[in-house]
A = this chain, B = another copy of it.
Amino acid sequence: MKVTASDRCQLKGWESRLMSADEAAELIQDGMIVGMSGFTRAGEAKDVPLALARRAQRDPLKISLMTGASLGNDIDRHLTEAGVLARRMPFQVDATLRAAINRGEVMFIDQHLSETVEQLRNKQLGHIDVAVIEACAITEDGGIVPTASVGNSASFAILADRVIVEINLNTPEALIGLHDIYIPQMRPSRQPIPVTDAGSRIGTPHIAIDSDKIAAIVLTEGQDSPSTVGVPNEDTRRIARHLIDFFEHEVEVGRLPPSLMPLQAGIGTMANAVLNGLLDGPFENLTMYSEVLQDSTFNLLDSGRMTFASGSSITLSEECGKRVWSHLADYRDRIVLRPQEMSNHPGIVRRLGIIAINTALEADIYGNVNSTHVNGTKMMNGIGGSGDFARNGHLSIFITKSTAKNGALSSLVPFVSHVDHNEHDVDILVTEHGLADLRGLAPRERAGVIIEHCADPLYRPALREYFSEACQRGGHTPHCLEKALAWHIAAEKEGSMLSLTRGD
């Protein structure tokens, strides 16, 4: 039987606030700060943003747009093409928006994902005029039940002057009760956040706001975009294998329990492949305390190897989505979706002792990691939550293929062209060639291990040569400054670092 609006909306008199996406979009004015739901392409409002883009095509306007993280359904593309985005934060993954950011047309504020709403709450980032939140349902007293992500939606709705709710009739009712919405108390009387394991439930199942603020209710049936995660290949399988061997060894010597520690895994093909690798490992009773629950999470839950997964969103491939969304109730006791302020909270990350697995674009011989800027200048996506986890976790692991662009670029370089994670935040570095265990090593020791274990053999001689020349000059972290960026300069000029391997 088809779901109707009244099935999902218990708020008295809601009908009077029902309107079309175009009408609701009129609430958004030029110059406003707008907060929208959406995290890792899940749970974004589907229709109002597009209505806004259509309107801006006729009648130009610009806003500052904040979200949880990336949006699906090409919304960032449509908004960029319509010239709507003056400012965008705290994360994105859209090719069109990325190009506009790199042309300097959209001011992108790339933030640690745990920090955005804290800064909003403290009035450090301005004031949210309108929040646009996708919902599965609205409760009797105006509580908003989010959909496939929580992201920053709760704080956006709480802090906004007016809230537009898009009720998505296509979302399963089993979402109700899945979320755990907790907002830290205001300082200075903030109490400890009582999360003590991945499964802790400490809040409410919906976003509680003054229902008078709900200025518009829009009905939609849009779908989340399927994840774009690529299939595992030989390289990602090798990376996974190195990591699993490492975990096995850590368990053997008593440094990790057989259930490991709660896992966080970044976005993308590689992180997903590594988690899938755990299906074949000897580990049991795994848990996850992460941002996005991907296909691999559900594979692990289905296999019985993982007992619980906490995230801020669910982003699945089409195939996995079919399986999960139609049987969501079966997972109800084993998953929870939290605000990203909770999923990424530095104190919880330290308390639980998370194993953080994130992806690098490149790393240098001392273990500094660049996750965001191609050639030090062009933004890829953003730092996302990687800094929340890498700084504060129990073990911080970065993975990357040893080369990019069919071997033309080495992902191991003398000096990273941009630093997102410095050597203090990088315990383990893994490529398809091997794993560098950097714990307790000084920079000069790190260099040897990274070059010999992680770099592509083609680039090793040039890296060894750089390091040895640098050591002759001295320093705790030896460098030849005039050659430090030569690899990137070659990449910029020639599209390739291969000339470095020939010593010219």
Interface members, chain A 98-134 (any B CB < 8 Å): 101-104, 107-112, 115, 118-119, 122-126
Binds B, one of A172-180, A238-246, A474-482: A474-482
Binds B, one of A206-214, A329-337, A371-379, A450-458: A371-379
Tell me, rounded to whole Å, the shortest Cβ–Cβ distance linking A106 to chain B.
8
Tell me the complex Cα distance, A109–B442, Å: 5
Asked whether A377 lies within 8 Å of B439 as measured between CB atoms, the reply is: no
Asked whether A187 lies within 8 Å of B112 as measured between CB atoms, the reply is: no
Name the one of B102, B189, B391, B475 contacting A474, with C-beta atoms under 8 angstroms.
B102
Interface members, chain A 331-378 (any B CB < 8 Å): 345-353, 368, 373, 375-378
Chain B neighbourhood of A387, CB < 8 A = 391, 422, 424
Instruction: Report if A13 contacts B (CB, 8 A).
Output: no
Binds B, one of A36-44, A143-151, A158-166, A484-492: A484-492
Name the one of B108, B187, B476 contacting A476, with C-beta atoms under 8 angstroms.
B108
Instruction: Report if A473 contacts B (CB, 8 A).
Output: yes
Asked whether A193 lies within 8 Å of B192 as measured between CB atoms, the reply is: yes
Tell me the complex Cα distance, A342–B171, Å: 44
Asked whether B107 lies within 8 Å of A442 as measured between CB atoms, the reply is: yes
Tell me, rounded to whole Å, the shortest Cβ–Cβ distance linking A204 to chain B.
20
Bitwise interface map of A from 244 to 269 toward B, beta carbon under 8 Å scored 1, else 0: 00000000011101000100000000
Chain B neighbourhood of A124, CB < 8 A = 255, 395, 427, 439-440
Tell me the complex Cα distance, A502–B418, Å: 28
Tell me the complex Cα distance, A292–B140, Å: 52
Tell me the complex Cα distance, A254–B122, Å: 9
Asked whether A376 lies within 8 Å of B481 as measured between CB atoms, the reply is: yes
Tell me the complex Cα distance, A89–B418, Å: 26
Name the one of B103, B378, B422, B477 contacting A377, with C-beta atoms under 8 angstroms.
B477
Chain B neighbourhood of A423, CB < 8 A = 110
Tell me the complex Cα distance, A489–B87, Å: 36
Name the one of B89, B123, B192, B484 contacting A194, with C-beta atoms under 8 angstroms.
B192
A interface residues, Cβ below 8 angstroms from B: 87, 89, 101-104, 107-112, 115, 118-119, 122-126, 184, 187-194, 196-197, 253-255, 257, 261, 345-353, 368, 373, 375-379, 383, 387, 391-392, 394-395, 415, 417-420, 422-424, 427, 439-442, 444-445, 470-471, 473-479, 481-482, 484-485, 488-489, 492
- Of all A-B residue pairs in the complex, the 8 with the closest CB atoms, nearest first, are A347-B347, A377-B475, A192-B192, A379-B476, A419-B419, A107-B442, A346-B346, A187-B353
Jot down 27 A-B pairs with beta carbons below 8 A, ordered by A: A87-B442, A89-B440, A101-B476, A104-B471, A107-B444, A109-B441, A110-B423, A110-B476, A123-B253, A124-B395, A125-B439, A126-B440, A184-B351, A188-B257, A188-B353, A193-B351, A345-B350, A346-B346, A347-B350, A373-B475, A376-B481, A377-B473, A377-B477, A383-B424, A387-B422, A387-B424, A482-B489
